[in-house]
């Protein structure tokens, strides 16, 4: 069977599975819509969290970044993985013990203020829409290639699928759909990685294949360094980013992970606080399987792509190039008319432009793997993008229905709240689709901005809200507004107002827009602390509540002997 047939079969079967699960587990109450009834097992929640967290950026774009950035791309690996450890140790158990569905819910109660709750809702919406734009873009890329439609049509098809199971199933439907999506995406990621590792190095374990030798006995990474330097590029294993920028991006991604609203809410779907910690541990193992494989996928992909195209006759290029040219995500232009593809780092002479987001999806075709493997990767890319998009849409709908409407209409019936949640999810799908059609960058870059916004807005007020009883509502509101505003203005200035000066010579302290969330976080901390010190302490009952969150049940004061 051809690639298109396999793709229709595998993507169609996976969609049928997701929709079937959504119908079977549809939410009948707000508790089921928001937290799946609080009865999910730690193992299932760990899988669902991994799928929720490993978005299109992880599946499609991260290996693409590493493929083209080499060593510098490792910041995404370190930041996203380290952030998950931070989340599991510092935040998840305490937020679970506090017993609120959403971050704005926590902020509103902890800071005893509806103003603080509304500011937190605005932050959550900013973060979620920025993040979901990247997911919808990923959906469009997958559909545009494998269903042979343009990228905008692909986004619209993805919107319809997400709308169906996010609006119908709520968190209950999404949780069990995400368990299935994790199984699909990890299988789809590992199978081609194992195939290609065997092809290039003879080693079936991709993580080990990365450090192994190719057919002529040269280590793979050394061979790749040689190929790139011969073409005029920097060595793959050399870093070009400044140490300060690498630190800032890694920190922003770490604390951004810990402040992501759609990940935090997952810890309310398990029965006990102990289960929240356990499911975080499971999720880390499930995430590590893909994350430790990504550097190998990146190196294999860029090596094969250059090997099959650079220096080859324009009229005799491999079939995969023609397939991807239809999507406009790879362009070949014979600028000097010599009939040979020149791949160089100089724009004026470079004749091959590859969109970095296609690297993972195109790798099986480049390596001439069986057509069913190519169809499987399409299904995996869809699973990764849709699982995170659904989680984000749920955060958006919950923020609107629970944290906005219920704040101003506390006597609203549960049935009406559920209806508003579903209507707002539908509206969010439409807006997310618009951002998918008109994205502000490539997938992982857009997602990095979302992490920066989460770092600058939520992380300080959550961490200080748990570990300091002195921080008050005035400090929290001022901190969130200042951190978020600073980060948005910096990103907007360099990415949209003056993109021509978006380089290390003009960045503040040499920190790129992807890493500025770490400075925004410091702004938030300083403003929050200073304003809290200058204004009255929180009421005594709030201070007592904070102490209760931090003390394990059954623990008492030590007695003097």
Look at residue 473 and tell me whether its pLDDT is greater than 50.
yes
432 neighbors 78 (Cβ within 8 angstroms) = no
- pLDDT score, position 524: 95
Using the predicted structure, report yes or no on whether residue 327 has a pLDDT greater than 90. Answer: no
Are 189 and 383 a contacting pair, CB within 8 Å? no
Distance CA 124, CA 435 (A): 16
Q: Look at residue 25 and tell me whether its pLDDT is greater than 70.
A: no
- Say if strands 330-332 and 352-354 run parallel, antiparallel, or are unpaired: antiparallel
Angle formed at CA 222 by CA 218 and CA 64, multiple of 5 degrees: 120
Contact 385, 135 (CB under 8 A): yes
| Sequence-distant (≥ 6) Cβ neighbours of residue 532 within 8 angstroms | 470, 471, 472, 474, 475, 476
What digits encode the pLDDT tens for the residues 191-214?
A: 999 999 999 999 999 999 999 998
Predicted local confidence at residue 289, as pLDDT: 93
557 confidence band (pLDDT: 50, 70, 90): very low
Question: Residue 533: what pLDDT?
Answer: 94
**What is the model's pTM?**
0.81
pLDDT grade, residue 554 (50/70/90)? very low
The predicted pLDDT at position 531 comes to 96
Which of 3-17, 143-157, 369-383, 454-468 has the lowest average pLDDT?
143-157
The full set of domain ranges for the chain reads: 3-302+367-451
Average pLDDT over every residue of 361-388: 86
Burial class of residue 497 (count of CB atoms within 10 Å of its CB; 0-12, 13-18, 19+): exposed
Which candidate, 57, 60, 55, 129, places its Cα nearest to that of 329? 60
Per-residue confidence (pLDDT) for residue 423, from 0 to 100? 83
CA 352 – CA 326 distance, rounded (Å)? 15
Q: Domain 3-302+367-451, what fold? A: Sodium/glucose cotransporter (1.20.1730)
């Amino acid at each position: 069977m051809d690639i298109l047939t396999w793709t229709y079969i595998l993507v169609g079967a996976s969609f049928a599975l997701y929709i079937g699960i959504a119908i079977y587990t549809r939410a009948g109450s707000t508790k089921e819509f928001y937290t799946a009834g609080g009865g999910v097992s730690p193992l299932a929640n760990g899988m669902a969290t991994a799928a929720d967290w490993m978005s299109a950026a992880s599946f499609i774009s991260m290996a693409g970044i590493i493929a083209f950035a080499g060593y510098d791309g490792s910041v995404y690996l370190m930041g996203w993985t380290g952030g998950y450890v931070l989340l599991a140790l510092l935040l998840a158990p305490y937020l679970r013990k506090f017993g609120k569905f959403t971050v704005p819910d926590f902020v509103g109660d902890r800071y005893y203020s509806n103003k603080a709750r509304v500011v937190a809702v605005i932050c959550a919406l900013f973060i979620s829409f920025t993040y979901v734009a990247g997911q919808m873009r990923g959906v469009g890329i997958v559909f545009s290639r494998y269903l042979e439609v343009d990228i905008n049509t692909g986004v619209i098809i993805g919107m319809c699928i997400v709308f169906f199971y996010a609006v119908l199933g709520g968190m209950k439907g999404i949780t069990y759909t995400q368990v299935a999506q994790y199984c699909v995406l990890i299988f789809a990621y590992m199978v081609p990685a194992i195939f290609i590792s065997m092809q290039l190095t003879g080693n079936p374990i991709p993580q080990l294949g990365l450090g192994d030798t190719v057919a002529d006995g040269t280590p793979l990474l050394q061979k790749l360094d040689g190929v790139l330097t011969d073409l005029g590029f920097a060595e793959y294993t050399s870093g070009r980013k400044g140490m300060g920028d690498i630190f800032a991006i890694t920190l922003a991604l770490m604390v951004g992970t810990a402040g992501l609203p759609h990940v935090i809410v997952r810890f309310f779907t398990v029965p006990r606080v102990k289960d929240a910690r356990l499911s975080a541990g499971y999720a880390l193992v499930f995430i590590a399987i893909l994350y430790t494989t990504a550097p190998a996928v990146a190196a294999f992909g860029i090596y094969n792509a250059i090997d099959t195209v650079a220096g080859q006759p324009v009229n005799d290029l491999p079939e995969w190039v023609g397939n991807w040219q239809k999507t406009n995500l790879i362009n070949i232009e014979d600028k000097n008319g010599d009939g040979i593809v020149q791949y160089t780092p100089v724009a004026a002479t470079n004749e091959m432009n590859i969109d970095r987001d296609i690297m993972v999806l195109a790798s099986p075709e480049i390596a001439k793997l069986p057509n069913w493997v190519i169809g499987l990767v399409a299904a995996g890319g869809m699973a990764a993008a849709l699982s995170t998009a659904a989680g984000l849409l749920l955060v958006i709908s919950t923020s609107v229905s629970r944290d906005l409407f219920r704040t101003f209409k506390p006597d609203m019936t549960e049935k009406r709240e559920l209806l508003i949640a579903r209507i707002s999810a539908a509206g969010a799908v439409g807006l997310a689709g618009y951002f998918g059609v008109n994205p502000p960058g490539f997938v992982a870059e857009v997602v990095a901005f979302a992490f920066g916004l989460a770092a600058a807005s939520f992380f300080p007020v959550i961490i200080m809200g748990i570990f300091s009883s002195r921080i008050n509502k005035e400090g929290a509101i001022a901190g969130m507004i200042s951190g978020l505003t600073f980060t948005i203005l910096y990103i907007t200035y360099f990415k949209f107002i003056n993109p021509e000066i978006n380089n290390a010579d003009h960045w503040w302290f040499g920190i790129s827009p992807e890493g500025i969330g770490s400075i925004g976080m410091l702004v938030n901390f300083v403003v929050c602390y200073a304003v809290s010190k200058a204004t009255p302490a929180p009421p005594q009952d709030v201070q007592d509540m904070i102490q209760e969150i931090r003390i394990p049940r059954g623990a008492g004061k030590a007695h003097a002997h």
